[in-house]
Amino acid sequence: DQQVKQNSPSLSVQEGRISILNCDYTNSMFDYFLWYKKYPAEGPTFLISISSIKDKNEDGRFTVFLNKSAKHLSLHIVPSQPGDSAVYFCAASAGNNNDMRFGAGTRLTVKP
């Protein structure tokens, strides 16, 4: 069962505009949420995270929003840059459980 879902396989935005990537989860025990970025032929790299006690976390151009009641989180990238073009994975884990669950990924393309 896919406990973390990214329903948009791809997203295309213009350079300078906002990119919004969405993620839904089903397991109410998840309390730690992360976004990873992956370039071709490389492993995923950590981008930003948020714990369930917060509803927003910001790091430069990247902001993650968490809506626990809707079991939904989103990643905002403002302004988007061509170098942001990559696959973005949403991930979630619960307590001390090592089983971090990943979504299927969203391929972001930022056009110059």
Partner 1 sequence: NAGVTQTPKFQVLKTGQSMTLQCAQDMNHNSMYWYRQDPGMGLRLIYYSASEGTTDKGEVPNGYNVSRLNKREFSLRLESAAPSQTSVYFCASSPTTNEKLFFGSGTQLSVL
Chain residues in the site for partner 1 (CB under 8 A): 2, 4, 6, 9, 32, 34, 36, 41-46, 49, 89, 91, 93, 95-105
- Got the DSSP string for 36-76? EEE-TTS--EEEEEEETT-SEEEETTEEEEEETTTTEEEEE
Beta-bridge partners for 63: 58, 76
Task: State the nearest-atom distance from the C-beta of 43 to partner 1, in Å.
Answer: 3
Closer residue to partner 1 in complex, CB, 8/15: 8
Task: State the nearest-atom distance from the C-beta of 48 to partner 1, in Å.
Answer: 9
Closer residue to partner 1 in complex, CB, 3/79: 3
Q: What is the DSSP letter of 23?
A: E
Task: State the nearest-atom distance from the C-beta of 21 to partner 1, in Å.
Answer: 14
Distance CA 22, CA 51 (A): 17
CA 20 from centre of chain: 9
Task: State the nearest-atom distance from the C-beta of 96 to partner 1, in Å.
Answer: 5
Structure-block tokens of residue 15: 């350079």
